[in-house]
Structure 1
Amino acid sequence: MNQPLTIPSTRPSASAPRADHLTQARRVLWGVGWVWLALALVLAWLDRDGRWMEPGREGAVLIKLWIFWAVWAVLPWWGAALLGLRHAAGRSPRGLAWLAALTLVAYSGLLEPRLLTVREHRVQVPGLAQSPAQPLRLALVADVHAGLFVRDWQVQRLVDRLNALDVDAVVVAGDWTYDPPRDLHAALQPFARLRHPVWGVLGNHDTAAPGPPLAQALRQALQNHGVQLLDGRRLRWRGWDVVGLSDRWGGDPRSEAARLLPPDSPTAPRLVLAHQPDTATLLPAGSASLVLSGHTHGGQITLPWLTRHWVLPGMSEQGWFEGLHATPAGPLFVTTGVGTIGLPARLAVVPRIDVLVLH
């Protein structure tokens, strides 16, 4: 018996136009990302004007600002990679790896640096109960780095969070700036709204080590906003002896420690502010009830093995990278800070305010 002939249909599949639309959408998103990279250079050029910059480093500042603006291109690229999952090629190991990489860049460059957390720690101060000094609640921050990557709204948010805390004083352990606007008075204006006493010291980026020569203007701006800078000075407050030391790279903390911290044990609980944690090695044994520092950023970007063995040792030769440590001078607490340098990114080191309950 003759079988009937079957003529294949020439009508296009219903999924074909949909696939074409997805392909077109992916091309548009990739194009948007590349266009944004070009526009980011224009934004960086405009953003560079009116900043404190280290002489001879103008090109480096431009590149950093370009990265700051260019990272937003990852969003349309991430969308294009996500649409690619609808195709078999997009689900290949290469396509999935590309999507994972874009997700990591988006999180570390756009989300985590803009987060802000608060963590409370109870720190026992030996001899406090036998002294006339009062137990304290301190809010410790460091490495604000207002300027290149940390913008006005982030400084304002930081001050709002500090004002919402039940603390006796705010301590800022240096590095207030990072290639900031020329008008430091306006850039740091939010600190004038703090409802708590504010003590601080300058960090290496505030004293041209490295960085632009803005220390004098910075001191004036901070003092105008009610911040007590304690570099090389002593303050008596609520029975506590509060001592500030200048930065290891941009100051002379060794001679300040010799002048302000006698080798015998303090008669009152003594709080020492020092930007770099390794400054504690310059202090006489037993001379501090507690040393407060920053500088390390906790590594800022946590990568397996690399951060621990290549990045952090440059921040502290003693291995005092974060948290509470025992030193010959006394206990040392290192905060991971709130800002960023080098790259506008943080990974697994969320910006943080540390509330220290000294009891």
Structure 2
Amino acid sequence: MFLNYYSIVAAVVVGIVSGILGVKWIRTGLRSGQVVARAVTVGFVGTVILSGGALFITGLDGFTLVHVTYVVGAMGAPIAGGIALLAARTRPQAVTAVCVIALVAIPVGVYATYVEPFWLRVDTAELAVDGVDERIRIGVLADLQTTAVGNYENEAVDRLLGFAPDIVVMPGDLYQFDDDLFDERAPQFTQVIRRILDDVPLVFLVSGNTDTVAGLRQITAGTGARVLDNEVDTFELNGITLSIGGTTLFGDEASARRMAERLTGDEHADVRILLAHKPDAIELLHARPADLLIAGHTHGGQVSFPLIGPPLTLSSVPRHVAAGGLHELDGTPIYVSTGVGRERGNAPQLRIGVRPSIGIIDLVGAVGP
């Protein structure tokens, strides 16, 4: 919270200084390009200096730099443009155009912060799998990644259950808060798990970046949900045998590889599914593919641009895969959820071009030749 206030103050300072200097340069008769270049330079230098102050507060954290830069762009640029429009009565047309464009950052910032992060969608996919005679529906509730369960999180659960899944998987980052808040907040997440289990008896979880196996096991204790810690669970559903293996992020790599070998080498299973937080778990399947890998983590990049896609996914899989949805990689179908929540901590609370989602994957019988 303090970082957000600091970023707002930084944005106001950068905006006012850039705007006042811009007006001064306009009045001295500088060309449009010179005015814009100087104002941008002042804004950039100011952002760098104030970002250094933020890092002094939070410690080295790339998300801090992104946070300050985003707020300065969303607030500082419109402030500078507004000052130039109001104070410089005579302006070159090019400068006027740049100032008007800067004001567009206001609605963009409002949308990215207060609209898209809560504009939940349902992402549906169908996958043909040998051995499946009757449809099996898998609900994916990834990256809830919240400090507390509120109306938005409950809406996500309601919408998921409305599709009547046979299985619900939760691939990590269920919660994100400091350890000293765990005992206070954990019961809210236990209630979420119980609500799901009231309708769906098969619920599987793995740990991610912001939660732990121990934390998830405490949350799910006595509920019937299964936390997979480099383990494989095999069961019968709709007359077929399914095996679900779950890999633990930051767990023992040797155990993860043994789990993957057990999963893909199980000749008695009709369907083999690997559940992981990061899609990078595809590396565990290099020797033998699975029928499906389900992951989250990337949030679809959380920011994505038309024709370009997400500039940052924090994953080694191809960007078009990390962007979300059902793809095939190294012979294994891989579904990556864009997640329900968003990065917390020092990161800016935003989404642009990547709406949050719950996933519905229907496994259907493969069509013969």
Same fold by TM (over 0.5)? yes
Measure the CA separation in 2 of the matches of 1:302 and 1:334: 15
Contact in 2 for aligned 1:201/1:244 (Cα 8 Å): no
Q: Which structure features the higher share of helix residues?
A: 2
Q: CA RMSD in A?
A: 4.0
- Which residue number in structure 2 is paired with residue 350 of structure 1? 355
TM-fit CA distance, 1:152:
2.5
Contact in 2 for aligned 1:159/1:191 (Cα 8 Å): no
Q: How many residues align?
A: 289
**Residues 86 and 118 of structure 1: is their aligned pair in 2 closer, same or farther, counting only changes over 3 Å?**
farther
Aligned mate of 1:299, from 295, 298, 301? 301
- Can you list the C-alpha shifts for 1:202-222, whole angstroms capped at 9, x where unaligned? 113224xxxxxxx41332112
1:119-268 alignment, distance < 5 Å? 119-129=123-133, 134-147=134-147, 152-179=150-177, 181-182=181-182, 183-188=184-189, 189-194=191-196, 195-197=199-201, 198-207=203-212, 215-231=213-229, 232-238=231-237, 239-252=240-253, 253-262=256-265, 267-268=269-270
**Residues 267 and 61 of structure 1: is their aligned pair in 2 closer, same or farther, counting only changes over 3 Å?**
same
Measure the CA separation in 2 of the matches of 1:284 and 1:35: 46
Q: Which has the larger radius of gyration?
A: 1
Aligned residue for 1:107, secondary structure, equals: helix
Contact in 1 for aligned 2:279/2:317 (Cα 8 Å): no
**Structure 1 unaligned spans of 5+:** 1-33, 39-56, 208-214
TM-fit CA distance, 1:113:
0.7
The amino acid that maps onto 1:326 is E
- Which residue number in structure 2 is paired with residue 115 of structure 1? 119
TM-fit CA distance, 1:166:
2.7
Measure the CA separation in 2 of the matches of 1:234 and 1:240: 11
**Residues 317 and 118 of structure 1: is their aligned pair in 2 closer, same or farther, counting only changes over 3 Å?**
closer
The amino acid that maps onto 1:112 is E
Aligned mate of 1:274, from 276, 286, 299? 276
Measure the CA separation in 2 of the matches of 1:116 and 1:78: 29
Measure the CA separation in 2 of the matches of 1:124 and 1:162: 21
**Residues 275 and 112 of structure 1: is their aligned pair in 2 closer, same or farther, counting only changes over 3 Å?**
same
Aligned mate of 2:106, from 97, 102, 106? 102
Contact in 1 for aligned 2:139/2:360 (Cα 8 Å): yes
TM-score normalised by L of structure 2: 0.65
**Residues 296 and 78 of structure 1: is their aligned pair in 2 closer, same or farther, counting only changes over 3 Å?**
same
Percent identity between matched residues is 28
- Which residue number in structure 2 is paired with residue 311 of structure 1? 312
- Can you list the C-alpha shifts for 1:14-52, whole angstroms capped at 9, x where unaligned? xxxxxxxxxxxxxxxxxxxx99957xxxxxxxxxxxxxx
Measure the CA separation in 2 of the matches of 1:116 and 1:60: 33
Measure the CA separation in 2 of the matches of 1:281 and 1:329: 12
- Can you list the C-alpha shifts for 1:267-302, whole angstroms capped at 9, x where unaligned? 411222111112122125444111111111111112
